[in-house]
Structure 1
Amino acid sequence: MINLFITWNPDPVIFNIGSYPVRWYSFFWVVAIISATMVVNKIFKDKNYSKEDFSRLFVYSFLGIFIGARLGHCLFYDASYFIEHPLEAVLPIKFYPNNNWKFVGYAGLASHGGTLGLIFALFLFCRKTKIKFLKILDIIAVAAPLAAGFIRIANFMNSEIIGTETTLPWGVVFIQVDNVIRHPAQLYESIAYFFFFVIMWLLYRYHNKYKVKSGFYFGLCIFMIFTFRFFIEFLKERQVSFEADMTLDMGQILSLPFMLLGFYFLIRGGNLKNIFRMSNT
């Protein structure tokens, strides 16, 4: 039997602008932000919100996601290190003995932290603009899976968040990590998130048909994403050493409250019942 697999060893740098390298990881993060922004802008126009509010929402969302994702990684996955090196949590720099330092970028962003940061930033945005909080959460929720899909492609290009060993023909050898044939778990997630976006977009397009309460799209988004995230973790290598002896890894533990919160908004006020009733008419 021929053992088929894919050898993956891309150059992380696409090109250089002077001495500054433009990396695939950064590129797909930018694509994620631009694509999600375009979707949210479309919905804002449909709902006749102002351009000023949209510009303000972009700033709040970007800062909330980035700061939350960074602090989430530092607190959830390596708290002891960053307590001793707090500047490295907020600066893209690694400090070495003898006053040496190196620019390393922000190597470590946690999706759970990014979600919490985004929710908090949206709360502040709504206090500022007087727009209802759940309505903004629903708008962002439509675009969120699209951005998440591109971010997982960024992880794949960076040969990080790798899967466990497999014999499947689409297994991938991440040369920058080792010579083991592994599940391309990043691509599994990316495909799932793009599919979730299609579901969210179609439901939004025909939302007048469904009588659901505010918060439904937010609930559906986080329930789908974090339920899938919970189960896909079984096909991933543990990211940090302290997870080695844990039954559930940190990603799964952090996904559980999001799953419960999402389920609450799905069933709140008969939301699911109305969706199924209207789908059968």
Structure 2
Amino acid sequence: MTGIPFPDISPELVSVSLFGMQFALRWYALAYIVGILIGWRLSVAALRRPHLWAGGVAPMTPAQLEALLTWIILGIIAGGRIGYVLFYQPGHFLRNPWEIPMIWQGGMSFHGGFIGVMLAILLFSRSERLPLGGVADTIALASPPAILLGRIANFINAELWGRPTTLPWGVIFPGEAAQDCPGIVGACARHPSQLYEAGLEGLLLGGLLILLAFRWGALRQPWVLAGTFIAGYGIARFLVEFVRQPDAQFVSPGNPLGLALQWNGWGLTMGQVLTLPMILVGLWLVERARRSRAVPA
């Protein structure tokens, strides 16, 4: 099997040693920091254009958005970690509960983080008495940049790779696990599924949301952007899962939930099962918004 050799990129951008301890800035952390900043600026740009919103009034101020970002970061961390514990390795963490807060060792779930963000938006909107639909649309517009850069960081980390492939753009990822391809002699090339997700969930979906917000007047109909983001992410993730290597934790005997969700003969992965509700909810939100009359600026 032929393929493209994995580029020699260190997961650590810079590493320093202080007082006998090693500190490193990783591409993964930098990706989310920069992604959140870009998304924040996009949302601020929309909030400063009242004519884009229903009734010519933005749902919140830039200052309130900054306060909401703190809630969202907490929701991402708490939800992502709890989701990983419940969906990926419940047996391991049941035996070692003290490891649950050790997020620096890795282990986060997008779907858990998504639920955490939704709860943060709901609680913040209620506490500040803000329109929930407008707040959700604001955060939906800000999300794709972080997803785009985060998936590129997954590629740099040589993790979450795809299934073996003979396509010319297959990548030969390093490591024993990546090269464990039954029936394949020599180097094993795999789909760069991280880059597929970066293009679909980040670049394509983000471009669509920007056009909807700044050119096509979608912000005048609350929930259109949020519904489009939820359904769009779900569809993109569902499609990429066909060429993405299933997470080993989901198909191991130690995860009965993962085994139970491998539907009878359908061959659905856990990622596909978890995105089905997202697709349905997102499409329902868009259809519900379309049936309500747009409020002119």
When normalised by structure 2's length, the TM-score is 0.81
Higher relative CO (CA 8 A, sep ≥ 6), structure 1 or 2?
2
Whether 1:65 and 2:76 are equivalent positions in the alignment is: yes
The answer as to whether partners of 2:250 and 2:270 remain within 8 angstroms in 1 is no
Whether 1:181 and 2:189 are equivalent positions in the alignment is: yes
Whether 1:91 and 2:67 are equivalent positions in the alignment is: no
Q: Distance in 2 between matches of 1:231 and 1:211?
A: 28
- Aligned to 2:165, the other structure's residue is in SS state coil
Who is 1:30 aligned against? 33
Once structures 1 and 2 are overlaid, which stretch shifts more, 111-120 or 45-54? 45-54
The answer for unaligned runs of 5 or more in structure 2 is 51-57, 180-186, 253-258
Code of the aligned partner of 1:151: G
Q: Distance in 2 between matches of 1:211 and 1:37?
A: 17
Flag the 1:106–1:273 CA change in 2: closer, same or farther, 3 A.
Answer: farther
The answer as to whether partners of 2:241 and 2:272 remain within 8 angstroms in 1 is yes
Mapping 1:1-281, distance limit 5 Å: 3-18=2-17, 19-47=22-50, 49-92=60-103, 105-176=104-175, 177-178=178-179, 179-192=187-200, 193-208=202-217, 213-243=221-251, 246=262, 247-270=267-290
Q: Distance in 1 between matches of 2:219 and 2:156?
A: 41
Q: Distance in 1 between matches of 2:105 and 2:37?
A: 20
- Aligned to 2:6, the other structure's residue is in SS state strand
**1:17-51 superposed Cα distances (whole Å, 9 cap, x missing partner):** 33311222222122222222222222233345334
Q: Percent identity?
A: 29
When normalised by structure 1's length, the TM-score is 0.85
Once structures 1 and 2 are overlaid, which stretch shifts more, 28-37 or 193-202? 28-37
Flag the 1:7–1:211 CA change in 2: closer, same or farther, 3 A.
Answer: closer
Who is 1:101 aligned against? none
The answer as to whether partners of 1:145 and 1:225 remain within 8 angstroms in 2 is no
The CA deviation at 1:171 is 0.8
Once structures 1 and 2 are overlaid, which stretch shifts more, 46-55 or 80-89? 46-55
The CA deviation at 1:217 is 0.7
Length, aligned pairs only = 260
**1:74-114 superposed Cα distances (whole Å, 9 cap, x missing partner):** 1111111112222211123xxxxxxxxxxxx1411111111
- Aligned to 2:100, the other structure's residue is in SS state helix
Flag the 1:235–1:69 CA change in 2: closer, same or farther, 3 A.
Answer: same
The answer as to whether partners of 2:2 and 2:166 remain within 8 angstroms in 1 is yes
Once structures 1 and 2 are overlaid, which stretch shifts more, 216-225 or 52-61? 52-61
Code of the aligned partner of 2:38: S
- Aligned to 2:48, the other structure's residue is in SS state helix
Q: Distance in 2 between matches of 1:88 and 1:120?
A: 24
The answer as to whether partners of 1:266 and 1:272 remain within 8 angstroms in 2 is no
Q: Distance in 2 between matches of 1:253 and 1:174?
A: 27
The answer as to whether partners of 2:222 and 2:289 remain within 8 angstroms in 1 is no
Q: Kindly report the root-mean-square deviation, in angstroms, between the aligned alpha carbons of the 2 structures.
A: 2.3
